[in-house]
Chain A
Amino acid sequence: MDFNDFARQNGFSDTLSEDDWTAYGRRQAIVTFEVDRRGNVSGKYKRLIVFRDHDSENQIKAGETWVCTLIQNPNSGNNYFARAVQKVDSSFMFALKKDQIVEIAAALWKTCPDALMPALEDMYGEQNAAATAKAVDEAVKTVKQTNAQLTAQVAELMQTDLGNKKIIASLEARVKEAEAKPPVHAIPASSVASVRMMSLSNPQFDICVRREAPDTLSSPVFDQARYFVHLSADRRVLLVRPHLNGNVICTDQTIVLAGLGMLVPFTAACDLVCDYDADLGGIRVYLK
């Protein structure tokens, strides 16, 4: 590679303008000197012969590479005289800074990869093989671990599946047993939950609420301690909802409501039509 191009590309002389390069830079070159057919020590620069300048004859030897200043032959103009600047050898290379080495390596890789590749392959072949073998070992180890985990999970899932099958079989047996029994028509433990279940399963099921006194309602389904009770403004519907924080206290399956007799006239004890309202979560008692 031309030294001047290299120097310009890598910004070794940012302060130089194009004119400076033309006037100054073009005379710098890296030249390798050999003994030619006539026994003279010379090199070549852009197909022109470069002889040693008489001041540098003692410095520049055959087989050496030098950074030198080229002076064009003033007589013929067909050859150069080289004035030694810096010998390019191992000590020069070792003196380079790390970033300079990196830049030189990058430039070399860019310009002549074919020349570098075989050398690099030889140098790094063993390292690459070792690294690849290590990576393969790690991958194999990971696969083995994953396989072991999956096997454990499959075993766990099979165990769970077995348990679920047992539960399903047990439930099916209970369902068959329940289906074999005759249907129950009587009110069971008379909890609201059971009433709800029965009401949902049988819409015709009647909930019995009895108005025994002007302010008193009783029913087997009033088995909770507290209720919320709401009346409609037209005094036709009473909504009785069990709730832990209800403001109406129920005792002996009977609730007493202040002012019910005043709002809804009482003539005699009677059973009231009711149904379970699943949306409101309570019993609707139709007062009229």
Chain B
Amino acid sequence: MALVSGRRDDKVMMFIDIRNILESAQTLTGPNSPVGLDLYLMARTLAGSRELVAAYVFDSRMPFGADDTSQRLHDRLSYLGFRVIAREAYDLVRKEQKEVDVAMACEMVVHALRDHYDTAIVVSGDRDFIPAIQQVQMAGKRVEVAAFRNAVGSAMMKAGDAFYELDGMPVLSMSNPAAEISLDVADSVAPETDGSAAPAGEEQHGLQ
């Protein structure tokens, strides 16, 4: 139970570092796992009965002309209601994304200062976000961190006002054997989502 308590009528904004969370999930389930992370259910479960005002997904996209496999994922997330912010700053040589962390940190701080939310849920285990989290807290907002245990350090777990371990949440979507299962990262989001609001308060989900 978190020391700093939230309220049921809090406005919640979610900031998802999608590469961090997908790679963590893939590490847990294995490279050829038939299950995929259901970001929709995860977001609804983390928000609980509170008002989710926006859910931002941060990612990079390939420079113009390169083969961008993540476009399909971005389209699907946008269709589900996520606000996808994809920076066109991918280092093809070092194979790493650029600008994404700073973009997410800026978005968190700007929305906090504009009083767009009461609680920020940072879905990432990357400790680069700690300064941004501290700034958001200084703006009088509550920050909750959610990540898989294998991708988060103790500093990040302690940075927020509450930490949710995603490992115990049933958010990996399963399907029948007959269903076509795609194994690439872009398809690691669940192929379908029910669109129903699952959730309730955090304690009722067993989140710590």
CA of A229 to CA of B167, assembled, Å: 16
Given contacts A228-B194, A263-B35, A279-B204, whether A233 and B172 have CB atoms under 8 Å apart is yes
Q: Are A258 and B198 in contact (CB under 8 A)?
A: no
| A247 proximal to B (CB < 8 A) | yes
Query: What string of 1s and 0s marks CB contacts (under 8 Å) between B108-134 and chain A?
Result: 000000000000000000000000000
Q: Are B33 and A228 in contact (CB under 8 A)?
A: no
Residues 89 to 128 of chain A near chain B (Cβ within 8 Å): none
Query: What string of 1s and 0s marks CB contacts (under 8 Å) between A56-82 and chain B?
Result: 000000000000000000000000000
The interface residues of chain B lying within 8 Å CB-to-CB of A230 are: 38, 41, 170-174
> How far in angstroms is the closest Cβ of chain B from A127?
64
| A249 proximal to B (CB < 8 A) | yes
Q: Which of A153-161, A187-195, A235-243 has 4 or more CB atoms under 8 Å from chain B?
A: A235-243
Given contacts A232-B169, A259-B34, whether A279 and B205 have CB atoms under 8 Å apart is yes
| A198 proximal to B (CB < 8 A) | no
| A225 proximal to B (CB < 8 A) | no
The interface residues of chain A lying within 8 Å CB-to-CB of B174 are: 229-231, 238, 248, 257-260
CA of A216 to CA of B19, assembled, Å: 32
> How far in angstroms is the closest Cβ of chain A from B124?
15
| B181 proximal to A (CB < 8 A) | yes
Q: Are B177 and A258 in contact (CB under 8 A)?
A: yes
Q: Are A232 and B173 in contact (CB under 8 A)?
A: no
The interface residues of chain A lying within 8 Å CB-to-CB of B33 are: 259, 262-263
Tell which of B167, B191, B195 touches A232, judged by Cβ atoms closer than 8 Å. B167
Query: What string of 1s and 0s marks CB contacts (under 8 Å) between B166-203 and chain A?
Result: 11111111111101010000000011101110111100
Give the residue name and chain of the B residue nearest to A250 (CB).
B176
Which one of A230, A259, A284 has the greatest number of beta carbons of chain B within 10 Å?
A: A230
For the complex with contacts A247-B173, A248-B176, 5 further pairs of A-B residues with Cβ separation under 8 Å are A237-B168, A245-B192, A247-B192, A259-B34, A280-B200
